[in-house]
Amino acid sequence: MRGRPQVTIVGSGRVGTACALFLMMRNLCDIRLIDVVQGLPQGEALDISHAASILGIDVNIEGSNDLKDVEGSDIVIITAGFARKPGMTREELAIENGKIVKEICEKIREHARESIVIVVTNPVDIMTNVALKVLGFPRERVIGFSGILDSGRYRYFIAKRLGVSVRSIEAYVLGQHGEKMIPLVSNCRVCGIPIVKILPQEEIEEIRRRVIKAGEEIIKLKGWSASHAVGAGVSELVEDILKDRRKLENVSIMLRGEYGVDNVVAEVVAVIGKDGVVKVVELEMSEEERKAFQESIEWIREVTGKVLVSLGLA
C-alpha cells in the first residue's frame, strides 16, 4: 500500500460510525463513510473530524452517498443492512441483507478490485459467502468479522469471574456467529492453565451460555445491538492488516478443507497479515465440541444455500 492507507466503511449507522471512531483514535488510515441516507455520512464524518481535532489527531475523514467512492480503498468494511425485527427469522434477515451486500459488492468489484473486504453485516457467515460469490476475490481477501467479538466476550466473562486481566486469557469460538457458536473449553487457558483446572464445569457452562446470549442481552438492556465492541474489534482487524501483524484472530472465512469442511464460511482462528488471511489454524476439539461444530456447519450450509438461490448466486 502506498502513502496513507484508505479505509472505506459502507454504512453509517451505529456500527459503521463506531468503526470510524475507533479507526480515527488509532490513527491508522484516512477514512471514508458511505451511506444511502443523504447527509448522514457527511455529518458523521464532520463530527468525528472534530473529535480528531480535539485529540490532536491529523486524519482525513469524509462522507459520501455514492458507492463509486469505494474507489482507491485498501480496505472496504461493509456494515450496511437491517437489524432483525421481532418475528423475523435469521433466514429472512439473510435474504434481505443479502440483497444489500450483493449491490455493495458489485460496486466494490467494479471500483476497488484490489481491496480487502471485511463483512460485518449479519448474519455474517452467510453475508461473507454472498460477498465472495459476487466479488470473485480470493477467500483470503474477504473476511467476516464476528469471532473477534465473540472471543472478546468470552475472555471478558472469564476475566470478571476470576478477577484477572483479559490479557491473561486465551479463548476462542468456532462455528456460526449466533446461537450455534461453540465457545471452546478444550483450548481455553488462563496464564497457560486449562480453564477446567480452575473453574467447575457448571460455572464454565454458565460463562459459555452468556457468550452465546451476549448479543441478545445487550439488545434487551439498551434496546439495540452492540456497536462499540464491534468498532473496537474491526479496528483491531484493520490494524492487523495495515501493519502486517501476523496475529491470530477469530474470523469468519470460507473453509477449503480445514476441519474436513469445504465451501462453507464459519468462525475459525486464522493468521492475519497485509494480504488478509495468511492461513487458517486448526484447533483441537473434544468429541462433543467437534459434533457441535459439525451441527453448526450444517446449519450455515443449509441457510446459505437457500439465500444464494434467492439471490440468483447458486
Tell me phi and psi for residue 32, to 5 degrees.
Answer: -125, 130
Query: Does residue 167 lie within any of the structural domains?
Result: yes
DSSP percent split of the chain into helix, strand, coil, nearest 5 = 50, 20, 30
Same structural domain, 175 and 202: yes
- Given 117, 144, 171, the domain boundary residue is 144
DSSP E strands: which ranges in 35-134? 61-64, 75-78, 116-119
15 — pLDDT class (breaks 50, 70, 90): very high
Same structural domain, 153 and 302: yes
- Given 144, 159, 191, the domain boundary residue is 144
312 — pLDDT class (breaks 50, 70, 90): very high
Closest CA to 30 of 56, 15, 54, 49: 49
Q: Which residues contact 244 (CB under 8 A, 6 or more apart)?
A: 273, 274
Instruction: Count the residues in the chain.
Output: 314
Q: pLDDT for 168-221, tens place per residue?
A: 999 999 999 988 999 999 999 999 999 999 999 999 999 999 999 998 899 889
Is 177 one of the catalytic residues?
Answer: yes
pLDDT on residue 213: 93
Q: What is the mean pLDDT of residues 116-141?
A: 97
For residue 138, pLDDT beyond 90: yes
Q: Does residue 45 contact residue 63 with C-beta atoms inside 8 Å? A: yes
How many other C-beta atoms are found inside a 10 Å radius of the C-beta of residue 221? Answer: 8
Same structural domain, 201 and 109: no
pLDDT on residue 178: 87
Domain residue limits at 123:
6-144
Same structural domain, 114 and 157: no
Query: How many distinct structural domains can be found in the chain?
Result: 2
| CATH code of residue 11 | 3.40.50.720
Closest CA to 81 of 230, 242, 281, 238: 230
Torsion, Cα of 38, 41, 43, 45 (10° steps): -160
Q: Which residues contact 165 (CB under 8 A, 6 or more apart)?
A: 159
Percent of the chain whose predicted confidence (pLDDT) is above 90:
91
Same structural domain, 302 and 162: yes
Same structural domain, 163 and 298: yes
For residue 292, pLDDT beyond 90: yes
CA–CA separation, 144 vs 125, rounded Å? 7
CA–CA separation, 256 vs 225, rounded Å? 32
| CATH code of residue 209 | 3.90.110.10
Same structural domain, 117 and 185: no
Q: Which amino acid is at 209?
A: R
For residue 102, pLDDT beyond 80: yes
Q: What is the mean pLDDT of residues 82-96?
A: 77
Same structural domain, 76 and 98: yes
Active-site annotation holder among 50, 111, 177, 228: 177
Identify the residue whose cell numbers are 459520501. Answer: 64
C-alpha cell at 105: 459488492
For residue 84, pLDDT beyond 80: no
Query: Does residue 1 lie within any of the structural domains?
Result: no
Q: What is the mean pLDDT of residues 292-313?
A: 96
Q: What is the mean pLDDT of residues 153-178?
A: 97
Mean pLDDT of the chain: 95
Same structural domain, 195 and 292: yes
Q: What is the mean pLDDT of residues 289-295?
A: 97
pLDDT on residue 88: 66
pLDDT on residue 2: 53
Closest CA to 270 of 287, 255, 285: 255
For residue 1, pLDDT beyond 50: no
Q: What is the mean pLDDT of residues 133-150?
A: 97
Same structural domain, 49 and 179: no
C-alpha cell at 59: 486524519
- Given 106, 129, 144, the domain boundary residue is 144
Q: Which amino acid is at 199?
A: L
CA–CA separation, 97 vs 60, rounded Å? 30
